[in-house]
Amino acid sequence: MDYILGVDGGGTKTAALIADIKGNHMAESESGSSNYKSIGVKSAKENINNAVISVIENLGLRNKHKLIFKSTCFGLAGNDSNEDTKIYKEIIFNDVIEKYLDRNKIIICNDTRIGLAAGSDSKNGVMIICGTGSNCYGINEQGREAKVNGWDYILGDEGSGYEIGIKALRALMRAYDGRGESTLLSKTVLEDLNIKNISELIKWAYSDYFSKDRVAAIAKTVCKTAEMGDKISKKILKEEADEAIISVKTVVDKLGLAYKEFDLVFVGNVFKCEKYFKSVLMRKLKSKFTKINFKYLTKRPVEGAIKLALRKSVIF
């Protein structure tokens, strides 16, 4: 029997999935992050190897040493440039797993591409991620691709939970100083973080253990506080919704989709903020692009990797 391999190499975990050539799922596994920019080349290689070897073990073949995947797709976080792809090729084509891979039937792409494949079958598709981080990716019927944002929390993560969280913290401190308007965030953020006062918040913010996830989690508080009527929270959410709209519009313009029908796939927890984020974004985008179809990611990105690998397996 012939098998294909899909790998979703994210910033938190690496998921591997084996399917037969009809797309039936046969085995899966998980390991740690494979974003070399976050954890280094050595650890990224170890985690990718662990995921691939584990999923092969889980397949339970008697002669696994003879296995060569008919096609493979690796969707990898941090794969943002030609230089990144070169580094990931060096990571992937190593002594441990290279023997299972056909170099002529392999896709190495950014993880946004497999996410879009998981969420849409349209020839014209765009995906906007508004989670801990934010980025936007699209592909049109000619196969042309475009990607914007996703440069992480220093260089560019507008529209993300992190950006919402950091703005909330700064608004809170401005209110505390008297430099800015009073806001319910001064109360709700401390309550949700289980922090008693500003002194404890300062320790929390500048502790040795920095985590984007901790800051991004504050977006949930901002959404709740906006629904309580807080003007500052509403303003923050509107600003970040507008940033996400700019990302989508930029990708749409690059791909020439403005007057064509296309799918827009939403990914990320920020979209759970219905009234003051998602609805704002949808209303404004619909007014700009009348043929847009809004979709939600219901499948796992690794299933998108399988879908792309299946297409690759029939191209000779």
Residue-wise pLDDT for 84-129, tens only, equals 999 999 999 999 999 999 999 999 999 889 999 999 999 999 999 8
Tokens (6 digits) for 91:
């990571």
How far apart are alpha carbons 10 and 27 in whole angstroms?
19
The whole-chain average pLDDT of the chain stands at 94
pLDDT at 146 over 90: yes
- The confidence score (pLDDT) of residue 316 equals 47
Give the amino acid at 2. Answer: D
Among 251, 310, 308, 283, CA closest to 128? 251
Tokens (6 digits) for 175:
């209110």
pLDDT at 306 over 90: yes
- The confidence score (pLDDT) of residue 212 equals 83
Q: Enumerate domains of the chain plus CATH numbers.
A: 3-101 (3.30.420.40), 122-297 (3.30.420.40)
Q: In angstroms, what CA-CA distances link 137 with 98, 113, 265?
A: 29, 7, 10
pTM, entire model: 0.84
